[in-house]
Amino acid sequence: MKKVIFKGAGVAIVTPMNDDFSVNYDKLGEIIDNQIANGTDAIVIAGTTGEASTFTDQEHVDVIRYAVEKTAGRVPVVAGAGSNDTSYAIWLSKEAAQAGADALLHVTPYYNKTSQMGLIRHFNAIADATDVPVILYNVPTRTGVNIKPDTYFELSKHPNIVATKEANSDIAAMIRTKALCGDELGFYSGNDDWIVPSLAVGGLGVISVLSNVMPRETHDICELFFKGDVAASAKLQTKLVGLIDALFIDVNPIPVKEAMNLMGMNVGPARMPLVELSDAHRAALKAQLEKAGLIK
Percent of the chain whose predicted confidence (pLDDT) is above 70: 100
45 in any annotated domain: yes
What pLDDT does 108 receive?
A: 98
In this structure, is residue 218 part of a structural domain?
A: yes
pLDDT digits (tens, 9 = 90+) for 100-157: 999 999 999 999 999 999 999 999 999 999 999 999 999 999 999 999 999 999 999 9
Known active-site residue 111: no
- pLDDT bin (cut points 50, 70, 90) of residue 2 is confident
Residue 98 placed within a domain: yes
50 located within any domain: yes
Q: What does the pLDDT look like over 58-110, one tens digit per residue?
A: 999 999 999 999 999 999 999 999 999 999 999 999 999 999 999 999 999 99
In this prediction the pTM is 0.97
Q: Which domain holds residue 101?
A: 8-227
**In a domain? residue 289:** no
* pLDDT given at position 228: 98
At residue 16's C-alpha, the angle toward residues 162 and 19, to 5°, is: 155
Specify the pLDDT at position 169: 83
Please give the Cα distance from 281 to 51 (Å, whole number). 20
**CA-wise closest residue to 92 among 53, 121, 39:** 53
Q: Is 278 helix (H, G, I), strand (E, B) or coil?
A: coil
Structure letter (DSSP) for residue 249: S
Q: How far apart are CA 164 and CA 110, in angstroms?
A: 17
Between the alpha carbon of residue 149 and those of residues 115, 146, 172, 235, the distances in Å are: 14, 10, 10, 30
- In 3-state terms the chain splits into helix, strand, coil percentages (rounded to 5) of 50, 15, 40
The answer to the question of residue 3 being in a domain is: no
Count of Cβ atoms closer than 10 Å to residue 283 Cβ:
10
Asked if residue 273 is part of any domain, the answer here is: no
Domain count, the chain: 1
pLDDT of 1 higher than 80: no
How far, in Å, CA of 278 to CA of 151, rounded?
40
For residue 73, what is the enclosing H or E element? none
Q: Which of 165, 178, 188, 257 is catalytic?
A: 165
CATH at residue 94: 3.20.20.70
Nearest-10 Cα torsion for 23, 19, 244, 142: -60
Is the pLDDT at 231 greater than 80? The verdict is yes
Instruction: Please confirm, yes or no, whether 94 is among the known catalytic residues.
Output: no
Q: Mapped to the 3 state alphabet, what secondary structure does 134-152 carry? A: EEEEECHHHHCCCCCHHHH
- Residue 293, SS3 per DSSP: coil
**Cβ-based neighbour number of residue 202 at 10 Å:** 16
The average pLDDT across 190-209 equals 97
Asked whether residue 159 is assigned to any structural domain, the reply reads yes
Q: Quick: pLDDT tens for 149-193.
A: 999 999 999 999 999 999 998 899 999 999 999 999 999 999 999
